[in-house]
Structure 1
């Protein structure tokens, strides 16, 4: 039936694709064809139309690489229970020597070969099918992959790339609305997927409700969101409508964005007696990406409120506190029950500068990562550095995640603190050494340079910043009376031990080892334009764009000229 489906779809391809296939049969390189360009990534080689009818972004290679690394470890964990060993390398790789000294040797499965006992994967928004093709060729222990898209031209591209890469025994193309398709698959374990990947253009929230139902218990849900302007506080009303959380605008917004997304996924899962376990959460480039296990358990799902918290943050000095949504208390019989969070933890005004506090959230306040899972991914990436193009960057990211304080949500940014006091930003190790010498823990956040994640209260942070300000011999009169900076610099310090002598634990081990942590971005870096509208009549679509351009031609310039003309009007002057 699969063969008939492929033949039927190939028969429906545009004439130029059939011409391309015919020309390819004559050994002409595909990349030289007029209507297509050939793109190689990992072990996949795909054909992309020059017309941009199907979305593709080369900058997202890191996204796809870390997905392959994460799903590989998930597949290993799932198959070892069936006495099957999934390995990253190819069966005919002569550079690999394996020794199995176990009492019962395990059967090995390799990338690129279907495994009947393996995992099933749904790429709900597949576009060109590149990710599905790479998963089929690079992840071991895969039984089936469904590459779905609602766009007809995208499905044609998926079919084309499946055939071009010879993975039709693993990957199947499907044309359907992603939400409806996942709702169809939610009934019956045999219809659900072990892994569901959501990588939309913008927010993933429209797909979460169906995704948490279509993934099997103990399954893996991979979610990307690129609407960072919404998640980072530019549009709090839009963020609440989509994620049911209010973001606070701060330089530490990227970690808050991750926690907003995790909290949103948890809320969707709780409606169906499910709950999540974050394995890996990354803020990188212009998007956030999370990998979470979805568990089933009505009793444990009730603990969700204890993992959520509101954020109370001063808009002037960036001091923040967390207010748990609920607390867990012990009963007289030794059990546990939930009670509403006790608070508020602080007053209406900031304890440090006296300015007003804002309330954001709720956000996910539990750990962002599973340390054991991070260890496995890091070991694999280190052992096989040539397997993924962005291995060095993945290694740097995972290493920084392992160094983070897992029980401390959110962080400060030293250059933001310095700008409030109008002082030079102190060296990272100097400020962190001061925190350690004061008796507190400190680390960085993987997604932000100059980040300071610590369990020290805001008063300690600002006492240290005040001491650093005094070392620079700056003038207090530069700060207006009533400003946050003036209040901070004139208040009495309450921290007894202020000492900036260097401490080894204040400097990250990854930095000492010279591991790539914040790489320089290449040219033309950033999000790409959305794929063109899927219209049956391309000429009609182009005409619409031309008419729209003609309609607004010159109006923007006229508006700009009007706004910049500041001359007073003179009576009798010819107004044009």
Structure 2
């Protein structure tokens, strides 16, 4: 065992120990990041939700486990019937040491299998062995792209679920656009739509990977929070559905001067490069996913479960779910309300008043999870600004 000092930590209802070998968490040999608590809280809710919807105990793979906090919370805080078996893996020997030290001493340890392996080697072993897997969680430091297609391949036997985190937001949000094209085969933006564009680029890559395997991807809950993106998707075996899904891949064009934006699918011949509102040059991002980000059945079940559990980030998750359920999910992208009102020379108007007025006028309208000042609507830009100017 290491001679490094150990520190006790508590997250949610779970206590565990970590090695304290650096002052900054990012310098530690295995770092525990408390800022990712919401990521783990949402994961716990989703796993319980999947178990209830599927009416089965789940086989779960924590492929890049780090300290193992996610897995230990799953075992400790969820219903005893939620998990059938849990694989907890990391290639870092110090991570495995931490995980081993925190093994529960009760009957839960019978469900736990600790593996010391490269994550890709582990996933390829599952594929080779045709092991039935229900959920694979990929939570790397940086991009998850290299893990996505192998994970989907490992999950197809059970029509399972993939959870993936991306923390390379400087790439996905346009600071390093060439790197984004190299890694994700897509161009990002630094426009206010950057986080939604980034999430849809990640989903586009997931859907393209699934299509090669003859799989359909069903996004059940994909979101952005602070410094990370998180996608949670279900897979189904259907080449026909995969073919149809590719018809929802395309581009978004937007004007950085007046906030006008428009989308078009990849098969359309769209040659307009001038904004129809202010005659400035349009910018373009993509290819990306233009379809839905949520599945209401899962979100409603998560909302119900949230009433009966205690989670550290419960209030934030409650607001996130409430906004997602109210959001128009069949229309991609939103308008930054302060930006649009400035362009319309109308300030001091409340966003909810405009949402209500749009609905009264027969349009769809809602807020969005991507921005507290974001407004989604089926109204065209000209119709939106015309309505704003009436106030």
TM-score by length of 2: 0.92
| SS in structure 1 of the partner of residue 223 of structure 2 | strand
Partners of 2:180 and 2:233 lie apart in 1 by 21
* Residues 421 and 59 of structure 1: CA distance in aligned 2, closer, same or farther (over 3 Å): same
Residue 212 of structure 1, CA deviation: 1.0
For residue 199 of structure 1, report the CA deviation from its aligned partner. Answer: 1.0
Note the C-alpha offset of 1:437.
4.5
Cα distance in 1 between the residues matched to 2:357 and 2:240: 44
Residue matched to 1:369? 294
Conserved 8 A contact 2:344-2:385: no
Equivalenced residues, count: 382
Aligned equivalent of 2:255, options 314, 321, 345 = 314
Bigger shift: 422-431 or 120-129?
Answer: 422-431
Within the alignment, does 1:129 sit opposite 2:68 as a pair?
Answer: yes
Deviation at 1:380, TM superposition (A): 1.1
Q: Identify the residue that residue 184 of structure 1 maps to in structure 2.
A: 125
CA distance in 2, matches of 1:59, 1:78: 30
Show the counterpart of 1:57.
33
Take 1:188 and 1:154, find their aligned partners in 2: how far apart are those partners? 25
Runs of 4+ in 1 over 6 A off after TM superposition: none
Supply the distance in 1 between the matched residues of 2:292 and 2:301 (Cα, whole angstroms): 18
Secondary structure at the counterpart of residue 245 of structure 1:
coil
Give the 3-state SS of the residue equivalent to 1:162 in structure 2.
coil
Whole-Å Cα distance in 2 between the matches of residues 143 and 316 of structure 1? 54
| Structure-1 residue corresponding to 2:275 | 350
Change in 2 beyond 3 A, CA 1:295/1:176 = same
Alignment match, 1:239 = 180
Q: Is the 8 A contact 2:133 2:158 kept in 1?
A: no
- CA deviations on 1:475-532 (whole Å, 9 max, x unpaired) are xxxxxxxxxxxxxxxxxxxxxxx4x4xxxxxxxxxxxxxxxxxxxxxxxxxxxxxxxx
SS of 2:220 mapped into structure 1: strand
- CA displacement, residues 533-571 of structure 1 (integer Å, 9 cap, x when unaligned): xxxxxxxxxxxxxxxxxxxxxxxxxxxxxxxxxxxxxxx
Deviations 1:250-275 (A, max 9, x none): 21222222211111111111111112
For 1:67, the equivalent position in structure 2 comes to 43
Aligned 1:302-451 pairs, distance under 5 A: 302-325=243-266, 340-341=267-268, 343-344=269-270, 347-382=272-307, 384-386=308-310, 388-418=311-341, 424=347, 426-451=349-374
1:265 corresponds to which residue? 206
2:379 corresponds to 1:460: no
Answer whether contact 1:219 1:293 (CA < 8 A) is retained: yes
Greater gyration radius: 1
2:16 matched residue in structure 1: 46
Is the 8 Å Cα contact of residues 408 and 453 (structure 1) preserved in structure 2? Answer: yes
How far apart are 1:464 and its partner, in Å?
4.1
Q: Secondary structure at the match of 1:145?
A: strand
Are 1:46 and 1:164, in contact at CA under 8 Å, matched by a contact in 2? no
| SS of the residue 1:122 aligns to | strand
Distance 1:403 1:380, change over 3 A: same
Kindly indicate whether the alpha-carbon contact (under 8 Å) linking 1:250 and 1:318 is maintained by their aligned counterparts in 2: no
Report deviation, 1:419: 5.2
SS of residue matched to 1:120: strand
Inter-partner Cα distance in structure 2 for 1:426 and 1:455:
20
Structure 2 distance, partners of 1:316, 1:438, is 27
Structure 1: 5+ residue stretches without partners: 1-12, 18-34, 81-117, 326-339, 468-497, 501-576
Change (3 A) 1:353 1:434: farther
Instruction: Give 1:152 deviation, angstroms.
Output: 1.0
Q: Specify whether residues 422 and 238 from structure 1 end up closer, same or farther in structure 2 by C-alpha distance, changes over 3 A only.
A: farther
Aligned partners of 1:405 and 1:418: how far apart in 2? 21
Alpha-carbon distance between aligned partners in 1 of 2:246 and 2:210, rounded to the nearest angstrom: 13
Residue correspondence of structure 1 range 212-223 to structure 2 within 5 A: 212-215=152-155, 216-223=157-164
Q: List per-residue Cα deviations over 1:359-402 (Å, max 9, x = no partner).
A: 211111111111111111111112x043x232222221111111
Give the gaps of 5 or more residues in structure 2. 22-27
